[in-house]
Amino acid sequence: MYMSFKSPELQVTKALAGALWCLAEPPESWRRPSLLSSAPYSPGCGLGVSRRSVLFASRKSIKEKARLRLREFDVGDKFSHLPLPKASVLLPLMVREGQLHLLLTVRSMQLRRSPGEVCFPGGKCEATDKDEIDTALREAKEEVGLQPDKVEVICRLVPGIDKMNHLVTPVVGFIEDTFQAIPNPDEVSNVFVMPLEYFVKPLNYKTLPYKTSSGYLSWMHCFTYDDHEHKMSFKIWGLTAHFAVLLALVIFGKRPTFEVDYDLDNLLSSSENKFMDLYASLYERKKSNL
Protein backbone atom coordinates (compact mmCIF):
# COMPACT_ATOMS: atom_id res chain seq x y z
CA MET A 1 0.00 0.00 0.00
CA TYR A 2 1.36 3.42 -0.94
CA MET A 3 1.36 6.00 1.86
CA SER A 4 2.41 9.62 1.61
CA PHE A 5 4.13 11.35 4.54
CA LYS A 6 4.28 15.14 4.57
CA SER A 7 6.58 17.10 6.89
CA PRO A 8 5.18 20.03 8.97
CA GLU A 9 7.53 22.35 7.06
CA LEU A 10 5.99 21.26 3.72
CA GLN A 11 2.50 21.80 5.10
CA VAL A 12 3.45 25.34 6.24
CA THR A 13 4.93 26.10 2.79
CA LYS A 14 1.78 24.92 1.02
CA ALA A 15 -0.46 26.87 3.40
CA LEU A 16 1.59 30.03 2.83
CA ALA A 17 1.41 29.51 -0.94
CA GLY A 18 -2.38 29.24 -0.64
CA ALA A 19 -2.53 32.46 1.36
CA LEU A 20 -0.46 34.32 -1.25
CA TRP A 21 -2.64 32.99 -4.08
CA CYS A 22 -5.71 34.24 -2.25
CA LEU A 23 -4.34 37.77 -2.20
CA ALA A 24 -4.60 37.80 -5.98
CA GLU A 25 -8.35 37.07 -5.80
CA PRO A 26 -10.96 39.78 -6.42
CA PRO A 27 -12.02 41.90 -3.42
CA GLU A 28 -14.96 39.56 -2.71
CA SER A 29 -12.53 37.00 -1.27
CA TRP A 30 -11.74 39.38 1.58
CA ARG A 31 -15.31 38.95 2.78
CA ARG A 32 -14.73 35.26 3.57
CA PRO A 33 -14.88 34.24 7.29
CA SER A 34 -11.99 35.67 9.29
CA LEU A 35 -9.72 33.69 11.63
CA LEU A 36 -11.93 34.48 14.60
CA SER A 37 -15.22 34.13 12.75
CA SER A 38 -17.82 31.76 14.14
CA ALA A 39 -19.21 31.16 10.63
CA PRO A 40 -19.03 27.55 9.47
CA TYR A 41 -16.21 26.50 7.18
CA SER A 42 -17.00 26.76 3.49
CA PRO A 43 -14.82 25.41 0.65
CA GLY A 44 -12.57 27.89 -1.04
CA CYS A 45 -9.44 29.72 -0.20
CA GLY A 46 -10.57 32.65 1.91
CA LEU A 47 -7.84 34.54 3.70
CA GLY A 48 -9.16 33.50 7.12
CA VAL A 49 -9.04 29.79 6.23
CA SER A 50 -5.49 30.11 4.90
CA ARG A 51 -4.31 31.99 7.99
CA ARG A 52 -5.92 29.36 10.16
CA SER A 53 -4.11 26.63 8.21
CA VAL A 54 -0.78 28.41 8.57
CA LEU A 55 -1.24 28.93 12.31
CA PHE A 56 -2.29 25.31 12.84
CA ALA A 57 0.66 23.96 10.85
CA SER A 58 3.08 26.29 12.65
CA ARG A 59 1.73 25.29 16.09
CA LYS A 60 1.99 21.62 15.14
CA SER A 61 5.59 22.06 13.99
CA ILE A 62 6.61 23.91 17.18
CA LYS A 63 5.08 21.18 19.34
CA GLU A 64 6.65 18.34 17.37
CA LYS A 65 10.15 19.83 17.56
CA ALA A 66 9.75 20.30 21.33
CA ARG A 67 8.46 16.72 21.75
CA LEU A 68 11.48 15.28 19.95
CA ARG A 69 13.90 17.22 22.13
CA LEU A 70 12.09 16.40 25.37
CA ARG A 71 11.94 12.68 24.66
CA GLU A 72 15.73 12.63 24.37
CA PHE A 73 15.89 13.88 27.97
CA ASP A 74 13.18 11.65 29.47
CA VAL A 75 14.62 9.99 32.60
CA GLY A 76 11.48 7.93 33.30
CA ASP A 77 11.67 6.32 36.74
CA LYS A 78 15.48 6.27 36.84
CA PHE A 79 15.64 8.16 40.14
CA SER A 80 12.39 6.93 41.68
CA HIS A 81 14.16 4.35 43.86
CA LEU A 82 16.05 6.96 45.88
CA PRO A 83 15.01 6.83 49.58
CA LEU A 84 13.57 10.33 49.85
CA PRO A 85 9.94 11.47 50.29
CA LYS A 86 8.46 12.06 46.84
CA ALA A 87 6.81 15.09 45.24
CA SER A 88 6.08 16.15 41.65
CA VAL A 89 5.35 19.31 39.71
CA LEU A 90 3.73 19.74 36.31
CA LEU A 91 5.48 22.01 33.80
CA PRO A 92 2.52 22.90 31.52
CA LEU A 93 3.61 24.02 28.04
CA MET A 94 1.40 25.66 25.44
CA VAL A 95 1.88 27.38 22.09
CA ARG A 96 0.66 30.96 22.07
CA GLU A 97 1.32 33.59 19.39
CA GLY A 98 3.79 31.27 17.68
CA GLN A 99 5.90 30.76 20.82
CA LEU A 100 6.17 28.18 23.57
CA HIS A 101 4.76 29.47 26.85
CA LEU A 102 4.80 28.09 30.36
CA LEU A 103 1.99 28.23 32.92
CA LEU A 104 2.92 29.07 36.52
CA THR A 105 1.01 29.74 39.72
CA VAL A 106 1.39 31.97 42.76
CA ARG A 107 0.96 30.24 46.10
CA SER A 108 -1.82 31.45 48.37
CA MET A 109 -0.83 33.74 51.23
CA GLN A 110 -2.80 31.39 53.52
CA LEU A 111 -0.24 28.61 53.11
CA ARG A 112 2.35 28.03 55.81
CA ARG A 113 5.15 27.12 53.43
CA SER A 114 6.40 29.68 50.88
CA PRO A 115 3.25 31.87 50.74
CA GLY A 116 3.10 34.21 47.76
CA GLU A 117 5.91 32.46 45.87
CA VAL A 118 5.75 31.49 42.20
CA CYS A 119 5.73 27.77 41.53
CA PHE A 120 4.44 25.07 39.21
CA PRO A 121 1.29 23.11 40.04
CA GLY A 122 2.38 20.18 42.18
CA GLY A 123 2.81 18.66 45.61
CA LYS A 124 3.59 15.57 47.66
CA CYS A 125 2.98 12.05 46.46
CA GLU A 126 -0.06 10.32 47.96
CA ALA A 127 -0.64 6.60 48.50
CA THR A 128 -3.18 6.46 45.66
CA ASP A 129 -0.72 7.89 43.10
CA LYS A 130 0.73 5.27 40.74
CA ASP A 131 3.85 7.31 39.98
CA GLU A 132 5.25 10.84 39.72
CA ILE A 133 3.09 11.58 36.68
CA ASP A 134 -0.07 10.70 38.61
CA THR A 135 1.00 13.04 41.42
CA ALA A 136 1.64 15.97 39.09
CA LEU A 137 -1.67 15.54 37.24
CA ARG A 138 -3.70 15.14 40.42
CA GLU A 139 -2.16 18.24 41.98
CA ALA A 140 -2.70 20.31 38.80
CA LYS A 141 -6.38 19.35 38.83
CA GLU A 142 -6.72 20.27 42.53
CA GLU A 143 -4.85 23.58 42.22
CA VAL A 144 -5.95 25.07 38.87
CA GLY A 145 -8.77 22.81 37.60
CA LEU A 146 -6.67 21.24 34.83
CA GLN A 147 -8.25 17.89 33.92
CA PRO A 148 -5.68 15.06 33.54
CA ASP A 149 -7.08 14.04 30.14
CA LYS A 150 -6.36 17.56 28.86
CA VAL A 151 -2.61 17.11 29.39
CA GLU A 152 -0.37 15.44 26.82
CA VAL A 153 2.40 14.15 29.07
CA ILE A 154 5.75 14.11 27.25
CA CYS A 155 8.47 13.24 29.76
CA ARG A 156 10.01 13.42 33.20
CA LEU A 157 13.17 15.51 33.51
CA VAL A 158 16.02 15.13 36.00
CA PRO A 159 14.57 15.73 39.49
CA GLY A 160 15.61 18.19 42.15
CA ILE A 161 15.66 18.24 45.94
CA ASP A 162 13.70 20.94 47.75
CA LYS A 163 14.51 22.56 51.08
CA MET A 164 12.39 19.95 52.89
CA ASN A 165 14.51 17.20 51.26
CA HIS A 166 11.73 15.96 48.99
CA LEU A 167 12.72 14.33 45.71
CA VAL A 168 10.81 16.59 43.29
CA THR A 169 10.19 15.25 39.77
CA PRO A 170 9.34 17.72 36.98
CA VAL A 171 6.72 16.27 34.60
CA VAL A 172 6.45 18.08 31.26
CA GLY A 173 3.20 18.14 29.29
CA PHE A 174 1.38 20.13 26.63
CA ILE A 175 -1.95 21.81 27.32
CA GLU A 176 -4.21 23.81 25.02
CA ASP A 177 -3.62 27.55 24.85
CA THR A 178 -7.37 28.00 25.41
CA PHE A 179 -7.14 26.50 28.91
CA GLN A 180 -8.87 28.70 31.50
CA ALA A 181 -7.47 28.11 34.98
CA ILE A 182 -9.84 27.84 37.95
CA PRO A 183 -7.51 28.54 40.89
CA ASN A 184 -8.25 26.84 44.19
CA PRO A 185 -8.13 29.86 46.56
CA ASP A 186 -6.87 27.71 49.43
CA GLU A 187 -3.69 26.95 47.46
CA VAL A 188 -3.36 29.39 44.56
CA SER A 189 -3.78 33.17 44.48
CA ASN A 190 -2.87 33.74 40.83
CA VAL A 191 -2.08 31.97 37.55
CA PHE A 192 -0.06 33.43 34.69
CA VAL A 193 1.62 32.41 31.45
CA MET A 194 5.02 33.55 30.20
CA PRO A 195 7.31 32.79 27.23
CA LEU A 196 9.61 29.83 27.85
CA GLU A 197 12.40 31.64 26.03
CA TYR A 198 12.54 34.15 28.90
CA PHE A 199 14.44 31.46 30.84
CA VAL A 200 17.37 31.59 28.42
CA LYS A 201 17.05 35.22 27.35
CA PRO A 202 15.64 37.22 30.30
CA LEU A 203 15.22 40.97 30.56
CA ASN A 204 15.61 41.01 34.34
CA TYR A 205 17.91 38.40 35.91
CA LYS A 206 20.22 38.03 38.89
CA THR A 207 21.69 35.31 41.05
CA LEU A 208 20.96 34.81 44.75
CA PRO A 209 23.24 33.06 47.25
CA TYR A 210 21.73 30.24 49.30
CA LYS A 211 22.67 27.31 51.48
CA THR A 212 21.73 23.87 50.16
CA SER A 213 19.86 21.31 52.27
CA SER A 214 23.21 19.57 52.75
CA GLY A 215 24.76 22.73 54.17
CA TYR A 216 26.82 23.93 51.21
CA LEU A 217 26.81 27.53 49.98
CA SER A 218 25.70 27.92 46.38
CA TRP A 219 23.69 30.29 44.15
CA MET A 220 20.34 30.18 42.41
CA HIS A 221 18.67 31.79 39.41
CA CYS A 222 16.25 34.64 40.03
CA PHE A 223 14.06 36.09 37.25
CA THR A 224 11.67 39.03 37.39
CA TYR A 225 8.96 38.90 34.73
CA ASP A 226 6.68 41.84 33.95
CA ASP A 227 3.30 40.46 32.95
CA HIS A 228 1.57 43.21 30.98
CA GLU A 229 -1.69 41.23 30.81
CA HIS A 230 -2.02 41.23 34.62
CA LYS A 231 -0.06 44.49 35.07
CA MET A 232 2.06 42.69 37.65
CA SER A 233 5.66 41.60 38.14
CA PHE A 234 6.47 38.04 39.17
CA LYS A 235 9.67 36.80 40.79
CA ILE A 236 10.65 33.27 39.76
CA TRP A 237 13.50 31.72 41.72
CA GLY A 238 14.64 28.60 43.59
CA LEU A 239 13.67 25.15 42.36
CA THR A 240 10.95 26.61 40.11
CA ALA A 241 13.53 28.69 38.23
CA HIS A 242 15.91 25.71 38.19
CA PHE A 243 13.33 23.50 36.43
CA ALA A 244 12.27 26.29 34.03
CA VAL A 245 15.88 26.91 32.98
CA LEU A 246 16.53 23.19 32.46
CA LEU A 247 13.34 22.90 30.37
CA ALA A 248 14.33 25.90 28.21
CA LEU A 249 17.88 24.56 27.72
CA VAL A 250 16.51 21.16 26.67
CA ILE A 251 14.01 22.53 24.16
CA PHE A 252 15.96 25.41 22.63
CA GLY A 253 19.42 23.82 22.78
CA LYS A 254 21.15 27.18 22.89
CA ARG A 255 23.42 28.99 25.31
CA PRO A 256 21.61 31.36 27.66
CA THR A 257 22.61 34.97 28.25
CA PHE A 258 23.68 34.09 31.82
CA GLU A 259 25.96 31.47 33.37
CA VAL A 260 24.66 27.96 34.07
CA ASP A 261 26.33 25.15 35.96
CA TYR A 262 25.98 22.61 33.13
CA ASP A 263 28.11 21.25 30.33
CA LEU A 264 25.80 22.38 27.53
CA ASP A 265 27.41 19.99 25.04
CA ASN A 266 26.40 17.08 27.29
CA LEU A 267 23.33 18.47 28.98
CA LEU A 268 21.64 15.20 29.97
CA SER A 269 24.66 13.57 31.62
CA SER A 270 25.70 16.93 33.11
CA SER A 271 22.29 17.53 34.71
CA GLU A 272 22.15 13.95 36.02
CA ASN A 273 25.65 14.23 37.51
CA LYS A 274 24.84 17.56 39.13
CA PHE A 275 21.74 16.06 40.71
CA MET A 276 23.61 12.99 41.97
CA ASP A 277 26.29 15.23 43.50
CA LEU A 278 23.55 17.08 45.37
CA TYR A 279 21.98 13.82 46.52
CA ALA A 280 25.36 12.42 47.61
CA SER A 281 26.12 15.51 49.70
CA LEU A 282 22.71 15.22 51.36
CA TYR A 283 23.26 11.51 52.04
CA GLU A 284 26.70 12.17 53.55
CA ARG A 285 25.27 14.85 55.80
CA LYS A 286 22.56 12.49 57.01
CA LYS A 287 25.18 9.84 57.79
CA SER A 288 27.31 12.32 59.72
CA ASN A 289 24.30 13.26 61.86
CA LEU A 290 23.66 9.69 62.94
Minimum mean pLDDT among 126-130, 215-219, 264-268: which range?
A: 215-219
Taking only the tens place, the pLDDT of each residue in 180-200 is 999 999 999 999 999 999 999
Angle (CA) 60-66-69 rounded to 5° is 140
Residue 53: which pLDDT band, with cuts at 50, 70 and 90?
Answer: confident
Single pTM value for the model: 0.80
What pLDDT is stored for residue 59 in this prediction? 83
Alpha helices in the chain (DSSP H): 8-23, 47-72, 132-144, 238-252, 267-288
Q: Mean pLDDT highest for which of 34-43, 57-66, 99-108?
A: 99-108
Q: Is the pLDDT of residue 2 over 50?
A: no
What pLDDT is stored for residue 44 in this prediction? 43
Minimum mean pLDDT among 12-21, 142-151, 273-282: which range?
A: 12-21
**What percent of the residues of the chain are helix, what percent strand, and what percent coil, each to the nearest 5?**
35, 25, 40
**Over the chain, what is the mean pLDDT?**
84
Average pLDDT estimate for 167-191: 97
What pLDDT is stored for residue 12 in this prediction? 41
Q: Which residues contact 108 (CB under 8 A, 6 or more apart)?
A: 115, 185, 186, 187, 188, 189
pLDDT over 70, % of the chain = 79
What pLDDT is stored for residue 230 in this prediction? 83
Number of H helices, E strands in the chain: 5, 11
Residue 55: which pLDDT band, with cuts at 50, 70 and 90?
Answer: confident
Higher-scoring residue by pLDDT: 6, 78: 78
pLDDT over 90, % of the chain = 69
Taking only the tens place, the pLDDT of each residue in 110-126 is 998 899 999 999 999 99
What pLDDT is stored for residue 284 in this prediction? 75
Distance (Å, rounded) from C-alpha 172 to C-alpha 92?
A: 6
Distance (Å, rounded) from C-alpha 223 to C-alpha 266?
A: 25
Specify whether the CB–CB gap between 274 and 90 falls below 8 A.
no
What pLDDT is stored for residue 211 in this prediction? 76
What pLDDT is stored for residue 102 in this prediction? 98
Alpha helices in 128-185 (DSSP H): 132-144
Residue 49: which pLDDT band, with cuts at 50, 70 and 90?
Answer: low
Q: Is the pLDDT of residue 39 over 80?
A: no
What pLDDT is stored for residue 269 in this prediction? 97
What pLDDT is stored for residue 90 in this prediction? 98
Higher-scoring residue by pLDDT: 35, 279: 279
